[in-house]
Amino acid sequence: MASFQEIKENLLNSFVPEGAEGIEALIQINIDGLTNFYISIQSGALEIEEGEKEDAGLTLTFDSFETVESVFSGDQAAAMQAFMQGKVKFSGDMTLGQKLGSVFKAPE
């Protein structure tokens, strides 16, 4: 089972600052049975902290770490499939969620 630190490192490694230009966002991420954390995207920079932010513009709840990896890989089809299968649930601004494909890419 992945730790918060491993998840944070994976997200930092897949972050594309150029893709985040113009995006100002606070996103709450919850992984069932594992951890809750939030990501802040501001001026092309990414911050990730463990905990919860009630004022997040988007909240994503995942069924597993594997689903998080799939959704944040930049693969739009995988993200849509996870949503359609009920592996990820959202509340808030879904247009923000759709922008994440340009913000995170699978590390090469």
What are the residue boundaries of the structural domains of the chain, listed by start? 4-14+24-98
Give the whole-number percent of the chain exceeding pLDDT 90. Answer: 61
Q: What is the pLDDT of residues 65-95, one digit of tens each?
A: 889 888 887 777 888 899 899 999 999 998 9
* Domain 4-14+24-98 indexed as CATH 3.40.50.2300: no
pLDDT: which is higher, 34 or 106: 34
Contacts of 11 (CB under 8 A, 6+ apart): 39, 46, 48, 72, 104
Cβ atoms of 60 and 28 within 8 Å: the answer is yes
pTM of the full structure: 0.89
